[in-house]
Structure 1
């Protein structure tokens, strides 16, 4: 297993840990989706976190470079997971334990409340730096959370943000010293258990209606582009 699930009270902690850099592999995506299913059944506030020093380095590059249906399914699955988090009917707190690159950063902007550890790690949509056009779905996820200036720098220049700068940009809501991260994120999640969940879910969907529509349309458009490229 690369994802652990622990329910304590009304908070479900979902921890990504593949022992390496927490790539968004097909296995990781499937286990994250299953963990969200459990949280939904448990009617729990979600606390999503990574291994110490690292949140996620993004998609599994060998699968991506191999192309074909496997790569398409992985990429589509990653963005569908982000869209699911964006619309999840219970609050989702994200504890950013370290580097959040590409798909890792897109999961960050899908969360409701993002707490990061201080440190020298970076948060980046690095596609342009490695010769990849930023997917449309990623653009829409970033657009709905980042400031206009940071959005343009992140998408077109692949700017890497350190934690404090990531707060100003919109990737994170706040940062705390690493020893305080787990407690701060859990405290935020526990506080959210007092919300009226029906009102939370309805308000979230109302507030994000246009963003969610844009993300889902972008996922379909990206899939068409991927298939067209593979056919050439």
Structure 2
């Protein structure tokens, strides 16, 4: 079963997360998506839409699966996840996040590194809630958050592990537009179509300069060490909170 669908809207490629029920980010999905983002320009894409399904963009990391990994495998996963963020952040073609529903933690992270974010209007929430599950928000992700909403507001939200609803996300600039759920992907495609009507070289070079600060964050590789993330993942505090969360989810479902 595929974990990622590719739909073509002429020269705009939609990469649709397809791992029900919540598009949780496991090693297979992260690796597949990273490769798809990197490959898209060579396959004729001039723009990318990253989407989920109605009501859910991505619930973030697949914690139950990742809790089964040893330190080495967790380190490899983290390297791949940062690689996915880098692929989005450095993409030579513009990427729009079509946030079709809830987007906590890792789902919000993916959106941060896109060029533009269009979110479904309604009772959906988005944010970096890592602190609530015993994890630290790494610097490269913090920098992307600060870039969108400013240092003070980003600090307050990240330190509290806070989630915000769609209206608040729009008000503070965490997302760029709100629209009805069924229209999110279509609007993402039309936004890209409008952008791609601009003189190509001028638009691309201006975009490259404007995103140079984001690129620079990935040049500081010493701050994105996989072993540091693995150490934090396996510390007692994180393991207790994460396992408790998984237990509560299983009890709720069962």
Indicate if the aligned counterparts of 1:10 and 1:193 stay in contact, CA closer than 8 A: no
Shift of 1:15: 0.4
Indicate if the aligned counterparts of 2:138 and 2:224 stay in contact, CA closer than 8 A: no
1-structure distance, mates of 2:205, 2:189: 24
After superposition, where does 1:55-204 map in structure 2 within 5 Å?
55-65=57-67, 66-204=69-207
Does residue 43 (structure 1) correspond to residue 67 (structure 2)? The answer is: no
Shift of 1:165: 0.7
Flag the 1:168–1:215 CA change in 2: closer, same or farther, 3 A.
farther
> If you compute each CA radius of gyration, which structure gives the higher value, 1 or 2?
2
Summarize deviations over 1:202-229 as a string: whole Å, max 9, x none: 3233222233222442574432423666
Secondary structure of the corresponding residue to residue 164 of structure 2: coil
2-structure distance, mates of 1:218, 1:168: 33
Indicate if the aligned counterparts of 2:98 and 2:188 stay in contact, CA closer than 8 A: yes
Indicate if the aligned counterparts of 1:140 and 1:218 stay in contact, CA closer than 8 A: no
Aligned residue in 1 for 2:239: none
Select which of 223, 226, 229 maps to 2:226. 223
Tell me which moved more, 204-213 or 12-21: 204-213
2-structure distance, mates of 1:163, 1:219: 34
Shift of 1:95: 0.7
Indicate if the aligned counterparts of 1:24 and 1:78 stay in contact, CA closer than 8 A: no
Q: Gaps spanning 5+ residues in structure 1: where?
A: none
RMSD of equivalent CA atoms: 2.2
Summarize deviations over 1:36-85 as a string: whole Å, max 9, x none: 23421113211110011101111121343234122122222222211221
Indicate if the aligned counterparts of 2:78 and 2:229 stay in contact, CA closer than 8 A: no
Q: Gaps spanning 5+ residues in structure 2: where?
A: 236-254
Indicate if the aligned counterparts of 2:54 and 2:182 stay in contact, CA closer than 8 A: no
TM-score when scaled to structure 1? 0.90
Aligned residues: 232
Shift of 1:176: 0.8
